């Protein structure tokens, strides 16, 4: 990545952070709009990718947390910082179930139970609310101290420790993963992010919750969790190739077609396809993305076909146009 130059590095960071934000929310069953996430991150990175800037405060708060964790990884992790992250995740003071306490530790008891109506089973009980301040003080002192632990092992242990304390009414999983990212950035000695731990955890979400449950039901033995974390991290690093390949393919595409005369609408839609747009691009989809009429969309698409950038693909309702990559 060091050899790719500043612009491509930023493009890779944008893709990685977008994936991270979407997947850390998906682990909790929350579905974000990828375009909103991408636009929010791009704006905060000072990148112009076109399109409207989203007005979703929840998305903005999540992005602020992820950027703060990676960019300011050397700064101490404090209660004030964590509470600011929490408030950003829930700026309206509510979650999907109603009002919650935001920007401060919880003052209620917390238990994770099964969803069965016939037999409720408690999977995990967090520490009582009157113990949270003491538990978190110990945790934060440990996080910010030079404990002599390998920083990657510290990231794994911090994730488990924080999520076991469960200091907030909601958002503990997302904050735990942001703390993990912060500590992994410390281990890398860099604020640049080219892999996503959350994306890999989301792929094995069921396994993630099972290993947490098994570990939290035992004594203080956490070897299984540590091993699972390290294996998941290794897979996250291996899967980073896919994100970086997408960035390189985008550069290769524009290098090969830099002399073609294209209008702004066409460039916008082509970038959308290069950024991982799923399925064929159809005339009505083109019109919505480019904000133009169906007739203009049809002319633009035919021009792209004539210039060898798109090819007709599919039949019936699935008919549309597919991107042609150089040398493909």
pTM: 0.80
Query: 159-170 pLDDT, tens per residue?
Result: 999 999 999 999
Residue ranges of the chain that CATH labels 1.10.10.10: 261-323
Based on DSSP, count helices (H) and strands (E) in the chain, helices before strands: 13, 6
Is the Cα torsion angle 293, 296, 300, 301 positive or negative in sign?
Answer: positive
Per cent of the chain over pLDDT 90 is: 55
Query: 88-106 pLDDT, tens per residue?
Result: 999 999 988 889 999 999 9
Q: Which residues contact 203 (CB under 8 A, 6 or more apart)?
A: none
| Helix, strand, or coil (residue 72) | coil
Round to whole Å and give the CA distance between 79 and 137: 8
Asked whether 247 and 15 are in contact (CB, 8 A), the reply is: yes
Query: 18-71 pLDDT, tens per residue?
Result: 999 999 999 998 999 888 898 899 888 888 766 555 567 889 999 999 999 999
Instruction: Please state the rounded mean pLDDT for residues 277-305.
Output: 89
Residue ranges of the chain that CATH labels 1.10.3290.10: 2-245
Round to whole Å and give the CA distance between 11 and 286: 23
Domain 261-323: assigned CATH number: 1.10.10.10
What mean pLDDT is reported for the chain? 88
For the domain made up of 2-245, the CATH class stated in words is: mainly alpha
């Amino acid at each position: 990545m060091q050899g790719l130059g500043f612009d491509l590095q930023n493009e890779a960071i944008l893709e990685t952070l977008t994936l991270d934000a979407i997947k850390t929310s998906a682990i909790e069953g929350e579905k974000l709009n990828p375009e909103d996430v991408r636009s929010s991150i791009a704006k905060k990175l000072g990148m112009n990718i076109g399109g409207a800037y989203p007005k979703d405060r929840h998305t903005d708060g999540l992005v602020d947390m992820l950027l703060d964790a990676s960019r300011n990884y050397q700064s101490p992790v404090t209660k004030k910082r964590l509470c600011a992250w929490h408030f950003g995740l829930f700026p309206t003071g509510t979650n999907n179930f109603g009002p919650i306490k935001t920007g401060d530790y919880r003052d209620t008891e917390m238990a994770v139970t099964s969803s069965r109506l016939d037999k409720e089973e408690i999977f995990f009980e967090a520490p009582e609310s009157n113990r949270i301040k003491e538990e978190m003080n110990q945790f934060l002192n440990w996080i910010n101290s030079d404990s002599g632990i390998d920083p990657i092992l510290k990231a794994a242990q911090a994730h488990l420790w924080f999520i076991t304390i469960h200091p907030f009414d909601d958002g503990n999983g997302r904050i735990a993963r942001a703390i993990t990212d912060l500590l992994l950035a410390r281990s890398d000695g860099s604020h640049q992010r080219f892999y996503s731990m959350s994306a890999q955890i989301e792929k094995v979400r069921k396994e993630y919750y099972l290993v947490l449950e098994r570990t939290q039901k035992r004594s203080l033995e956490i070897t299984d969790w540590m091993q699972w974390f390290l294996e998941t991290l290794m897979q996250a690093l291996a899967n980073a190739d896919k994100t970086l390949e997408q960035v390189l393919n985008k550069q290769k595409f524009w290098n090969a077609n830099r002399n073609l005369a294209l209008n702004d609408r066409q460039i916008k839609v082509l970038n959308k396809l290069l950024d991982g747009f799923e399925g064929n691009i159809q005339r009505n989809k083109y019109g919505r993305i480019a904000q133009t009429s169906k007739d203009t969309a049809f002319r633009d698409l035919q021009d792209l076909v004539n210039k060898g950038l798109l090819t007709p693909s599919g039949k019936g309702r699935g008919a549309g146009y597919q991107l042609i990559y150089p040398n493909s």
